[in-house]
A and B are shown apart, each in its own frame.
Chain A
């Protein structure tokens, strides 16, 4: 009885190995026949929809190319580029000095291409009477200095501050460019995603938060984007594609693709595609702002 059991077991193991073998050889055969070119793109969660949309259309144009797109965050993407686990890194922020050093230590030279623009809209509840804010006021709101809408000419109502998680590129961008590098108030509620943030702001008339410009259009009936003033005396600018492109809207940023050294081969084809007319049209469709 025991013998039979042992035999069965060994046969099973044997089957296991043989099937694994045939699996790999099949894959190799396929690879050789079609000469598929593989390319991995990793990075910013903000950009993952955009990059996927690009990849889809790019693969339609180039049947022999297989692209794999993953998110994980700009930091993850840059680390992947440095460690050599991705060919292209998508990042919603510039590579920082520490990461540059780390890359130099490994003999890498990350090269940067700006592929799209992203404006960040400050959103409030539609019933909020406040229509416009200055960067200075925004800084005071998000650092917790102003806690009631009355101080800004609104209703006597406590302010409810929403922010993205500190892992979000948008969090750091907002902190650097709007809050003058000050810390967020510890009472700010940090939400793990844009949709949760829109949900939160739509649910309370005292709420304020920030999201990418593209998301405002999709939920215009539930939230309201305020106009922003760069500095005293400057005009209040409503967030729009045009205002982001001509640089008059103060809270905007570039979105980047990074390669290790100058892009070559498939990577170069892909980056050229993102900058082409068709690629920039996809930028618009994905809710971001084309370069021109």
Chain B
């Protein structure tokens, strides 16, 4: 029995590693970020300008970055939610098994394309296209970034929504059909409403993916720290700011600490999104 106990402890330890890692990440991000709260003060983060390298006055306002992240996230979701939810409905409810066999692997491939490769695609193909279509002087803007991000969120939302749709009990659909509802009525009046919590959770996870995406956004968003909600303006996101500036920032400086604050805020937002989607899934009994 002693070996049993030993194995048990070993397995518990292995399973707990990720909990420990998340806690440690929070702890160390907080440790690096904290000194900023005392000097120069947390109020410095609530400024309208992000000018971290300046001979005049260094400004660490996160508003332009939060605005940038919000703008691309909302745009990307507007593009990808309709596409991916309808796609998931088709794959799960309408498609022939043969079609499913073809469609699903391609969606999985889309999920596994490295984001930096998508960034290349954005820089060389999508940006010139956006530039020409809208007659702009540069295609590096929020819209181009959102299109790329929508592409990345698609597989996440499709796969999880499809799982949710597939887990709607067969008896629901049979009852609906038996009452004389058409296939289409059954899908939109019975199956989709029943799977809605799962679809919501899928969307949440999609948003998490989009907010956290870095490389592709860094390459195509133009990275101008301006507060704008116009899709054809260049914007700067929180993730791109960290990725671009962390490499050269003097260790322990205010700029360094401000970047850690951005990291904390990002982590907190994605943490909330994940927690929220789990609560939805659990409430409707869809969590495993």
Q: Which residues of A contact B (CB under 8 A)?
A: 2-3, 6, 9, 45, 72-76, 79, 96, 98-99, 102, 158, 160, 165-169, 171-172, 175-176, 181-183, 186-192, 196, 199-200, 203-204, 206-207
Contact = CB atoms under 8 A, between A and B. Distances in A.
Interface in B217-244: 218-219, 222-226, 234, 236, 244
Contact of A79 (B49, B245, B251): B251
B224 A196 contact: no
Nearest to B127: A203
A75 B252 CA distance: 11
B56 A186 contact: no
Contacts of B140: 189, 191, 200
B137 A75 contact: no
Contacts of B247: 45, 72-73, 75-76, 167
A167 B52 CA distance: 10
Given A75-B249, A166-B53, A3 B222 contact: no
A160 B248 contact: no
B7 interface: yes
B250 A176 contact: no
B123 interface: yes
A3 B6 CA distance: 12
B255 to A, nearest CB: 9
Given A79-B250, A189-B223, A165 B245 contact: yes
Given A182-B56, A190-B244, A203-B131, A2 B3 contact: yes
A76 B248 contact: yes
Given A6-B3, A200-B140, A203-B131, A189 B222 contact: yes
Interface string B23-62: 0000000000000000000000000010111111000000
Contacts of A182: 55-56
Contacts of A72: 247
A204 B55 CA distance: 30
A160 B253 contact: no
Interface in B121-144: 123, 127-128, 131, 137-140
6 contacts: A165-B245, A166-B53, A175-B53, A182-B56, A203-B138, A203-B139
B4 interface: yes
B141 to A, nearest CB: 9
A169 B7 contact: no
Contacts of A171: 53
A166 B128 CA distance: 25
B248 A2 contact: no
Contacts of A207: 137-138
B249 A165 contact: no
B225 A73 contact: no
Given A73-B248, A187-B226, A190-B222, 9 more contacts: A2-B4, A9-B7, A75-B251, A167-B245, A175-B55, A181-B55, A192-B223, A192-B244, A196-B123
Interface string B1-23: 00110110000000000000000
A183 B244 contact: no
Contacts of B251: 75, 79, 102
Given A165-B223, A186-B225, A189-B138, A181 B56 contact: yes
Contacts of A172: 53
Contact of A167 (B127, B219, B248, B253): B248
Nearest to A203: B128
A224 B251 CA distance: 37
A18 B110 CA distance: 41
Contacts of B7: 6, 9
In this complex, which of A158, A192, A199 has the most chain B Cβ atoms within 10 angstroms of its Cβ?
A: A192
Contact of B224 (A73, A79, A176, A187): A187
